[in-house]
Amino acid sequence: MRTITTTEDLAGFCAEAAEHDYVTVDTEFLRERTYYSKLCLIQLAMPGDTDDTAVLVDPLAGGLSLEPLYELFRDTSVVKVFHAARQDLEIFFVDAEVFPEPLFDTQVAAMVCGFGEQVGYETLVRRIAKKPLDKTSRFTDWSRRPLTDAQKTYALADVTHLRVIYEFLAARLEETERSRWVHEELQVLTTPATYIVEPREAWRRVKTRTSSPKFLAVVRELAAFREIYAQERNIPRNRVYKDDALVELASNKPKNTEELGRARLLLREARRGDIADGILAAVAAGVSCPADDMPRPDRSREKLQVNPALADLLRVLLKAKTESAGVAARLIAPASDLDAIAAGLRDVPALSGWRLEVFGEDALRLCDGRIALAAEGADVRIVPLD
């Protein structure tokens, strides 16, 4: 099991990998004690049926630069293959603002190929590669050195079996002419906005029981301060204060340290120093927020007049379409999209791109009364009415 610890060796491997059609990639990282993921290990494998074409790259080795890997990521002649790539891509984007191009995500491809919703790597290894997968090292501390042989074996398996899975799924997509579907789905993964957290928008992730703009103005300021503080110090946002404490602070609106000290849910460390000062300043800013700048959540869909009978028919149509196409239903249209369509909205993902071809066109025809649905044994048949 070869481990790369120098930039020179990494450059040599990447130069060799660039001669192939694809390379499989995975990472091991920790995030429990940091805001940004701490990259601990990178696994890479070139095409082949042996382990000698796979390597481990140790980013914790002193003096190692990942620039040769990033050059490989920029090489559009080599497909970069991941499974469930989002967190891996976030690491590379935060480190170097680079995305692998072209990208192939076997989890997305498996959903398009009928393997179910958010299918796990272990399932694909078992069903496609026909191999068992030892997951006992999954939750080990990847930052500790030296790595054990068990850790190395586990890590390499994440890219060696991935070769078989990729080749199988790529062939299936080519055969069914669905490669474009996967390409559409992956666009969001290679969009910088996916990984950039704007502090002023962080309030939208906080669950509250009220939509009062005055209350939300304080929530917004508290959430923004927490996000900035956590980012600058690279600590988890919950280490600053948790959501329930944030909501409590927005409700009580402390004006000074004495009132702040009465907060029941605030961590001890947040009752003094920079965090306490930041909280009080955020509360004051939220309280004095001008009315025209107060945040207002999007409640438009809550007032939709959903036709329940039509929504039920759309669910039946979706089930029929997903069964015939062999695509996970949730990938095409979640329940919220179906309700939106039944309420008359047309600006929904289910009515664009490849989803329009598979489901959307007939969904619109159903809404317009141009088709009907009929039961035919265990199947659902579409009956044209025009």
Please tell me the predicted confidence (pLDDT) of residue 300.
Answer: 65
The pLDDT value recorded for residue 298 is: 72
- How many C-beta neighbours within 10 Å does residue 7 have? 16
Residue 139: per-residue pLDDT: 83
Neighbours of 156 (CB within 10 A): 20
Question: Which strands, in side-by-side order, build the sheet including 38-45?
Answer: 2-4, 54-57, 38-45, 22-30, 79-82, 103-105
DSSP at 148 = P
Tens digits of residue pLDDT in 242-254: 999 999 999 999 9
Written as one string, the DSSP assignment of 239-294 is: HH--HHHHHHHHHH---SHHHHTT-SSS-GGGGSHHHHHHHHHHHHHHHT--GGGS
- In the predicted model, is pLDDT for residue 117 greater than 90? no
Q: Looking at 218-222, 293-297, 347-351, which range is the least confident one?
A: 293-297
CA pair distance 186, 363, nearest whole angstrom? 24
23-53 per-position pLDDT tens digit: 999 999 999 999 999 999 999 999 987 778 9
DSSP 22: E
Instruction: Please name which of 332, 349, 336 lies closest in space to residue 114, comparing C-alpha atoms.
Output: 332
Angle at 317 between CA 301 and CA 337, to 5 degrees: 15
Beta bridge partners of 38: 30
Backbone conformation region of residue 83, classed left if phi is above 0, alpha if psi is from -120 to 50, else beta: beta
| pLDDT of amino acid 126 | 95
- Domains in the chain (CATH in brackets) are 2-194 (3.30.420.10), 199-288 (1.10.150.80), 308-384 (1.10.150)
> How many whole angstroms separate alpha carbon 361 and alpha carbon 358?
7
323 backbone dihedrals φ, ψ, rounded to 5°: -70, -40
What are residue 329's phi and psi, to 5 degrees? -60, -40
pLDDT averaged over the chain?
94
Find the mean pLDDT for residues 73-97: 98
Q: Is this prediction's pTM over 0.85?
A: yes
pLDDT top residue among 135 and 201: 201
CB 346: neighbour CB atoms within 10 A? 12
Residue 358, C-beta contacts closer than 8 angstroms, at least 6 positions apart: 321, 325, 327, 332
CA distance readout (Å), 158 to 9, 38, 58, 84, 346: 21, 19, 16, 12, 41
Hey, which residues does 375 pair with through a beta bridge?
380
Residue 141 has, within 13 A of its CA and on its CB side, a CA count of 5
Given a cut of 90, is residue 362 above it in pLDDT? yes
pLDDT tens per residue, range 271-288: 999 999 999 999 999 999
d(CA 207, CA 190): 28
Q: Read off the pLDDT of residues 288-347 as tens digits, 9 standing for 90 and up.
A: 999 999 998 776 666 678 899 999 999 999 999 998 888 888 889 999 999 999 999 999
Q: What is the DSSP string of 153-177?
A: HHHHHHHHHHHHHHHHHHHHHHHHT
pLDDT of residue 47: 96
Distance CA 179, CA 109 (A): 8
